[in-house]
Amino acid sequence: MNTFRIGGDLPVHRLGFGAMRLTDWGPPKDLPAAVAVARRAVELGVTLIDTADAYALGANEELLAQALHPYPRGLVIATKAGQSRPGRGRWKPLGRPEYLIQQAELSLRRLRLERIELFQLHRVDPQVPFADQIGALKQLRDEGKIRHIGLSEVGVAQIEEARRTVPIAGVQNRYNLTDRRHEDVLDHCEAAGIAFIPWEPVANGTHAATEGPLAQVAKEVGGTPVQVALAWLLARSPVMLPIPGTGSAAHLEENMAAARIELTREQFSRLDAVGREPRHAGPAR
């Protein structure tokens, strides 16, 4: 697996793991199975795991600590704050500075860390001045509680506004082969050397269809449609760090095998043409 240095000094393998699906609304229904998947991800070479304080109301972070602490050398657990969960299936941005600082402290405790290597603003809260939200993250960074700052679901103007206050090391926006609305953000991140971490990189599983362009290329390369979708992302930009998520060990192994697939220029171009039609937005996360 080739690597990318987040913030210029934090090397990770470019194909990571999204931990959200290891838990439900609360703790996992099958704790041993969830722990096994997290551990298997590390065995397969994952060095970037993405979670958030809002995933299972903190239980997701606790699960990762239970499964993986003490963490192997080089493993980065990235987490997020700024997205609250007022009810099952409901998400609400909450970016008051005191809340972001409180949640970072709780994440440190749940993850059993002294410093979070990548801490991301989960959503921009439209009810709070953006400068105040970035200021809270800067305070955490200045205090040594986080190393690098990331943003999620932002546009180019917001990235640049934030960078006038503090370096931005990562951007996590929804992006996949058939949802390319953030193409300009990806291009901006590539030019600036900022990690681009696409969530829902396989379109919530819809890229697993057994017919269509993805399936055709999969036959040509001896892989699966999901693996081809991930391989396309990795080929799309050197700053791309997909984080496919699953609660299944079998699906995890399928996803990670995508790092071994190499697309020809013709195959990449053929797939690239698939995602040019506008698509409807998926659910927030």
Does the annotation count 71 as an active-site position?
Answer: no
Per-residue DSSP letter, 71 = P
- Terminal CA-CA length for the chain: 27
Three-state secondary structure call for residue 126: coil
What's the token pair of residue 109? Answer: 């405790």
Handedness of CA 52, 54, 60, 66 (dihedral sign): positive
Q: Please tell me the number of Cα atoms within 13 Å of 214 on its side-chain side.
A: 24
Please, what is the Cα angle at 183 between 180 and 188, to 5 degrees? 160
Measured distance CA(5)–CA(27) in Å, rounded: 32
Residue bearing tokens 């305070």: 139
Backbone angles phi, psi at 91, to 5 degrees: -130, 140
> 227 and 261 in contact (C-beta within 8 Å)?
yes
Q: What is the pTM of this model?
A: 0.94
Q: Which of 55, 71, 99, 175 is catalytic?
A: 55
Please, what is the Cα angle at 28 between 24 and 31, to 5 degrees? 165
Residue bearing tokens 């640049």: 160
Contacts of 225 (CB under 8 A, 6+ apart): 207, 208, 209, 210, 212, 214, 215, 218
> 282 and 174 in contact (C-beta within 8 Å)?
yes
Per-residue pLDDT of the chain (285 residues; tens, 9 = 90+): 599 999 999 999 999 999 999 998 889 999 999 999 999 999 999 999 999 999 999 999 999 999 999 999 999 999 999 999 988 889 999 999 999 999 999 999 999 999 999 999 999 999 999 999 999 999 999 999 999 999 999 999 999 999 999 999 999 999 999 999 999 999 999 999 999 999 999 987 677 677 889 999 999 999 999 999 999 999 999 999 999 999 999 999 999 999 999 999 999 999 999 877 554 444 456
What's the token pair of residue 140? Answer: 């955490």
Q: 67-73 contacts: CB < 8 A, separation 24 or more?
A: 67/34, 67/35, 67/38, 67/39, 68/38, 68/39, 68/42, 69/111, 69/112, 72/42
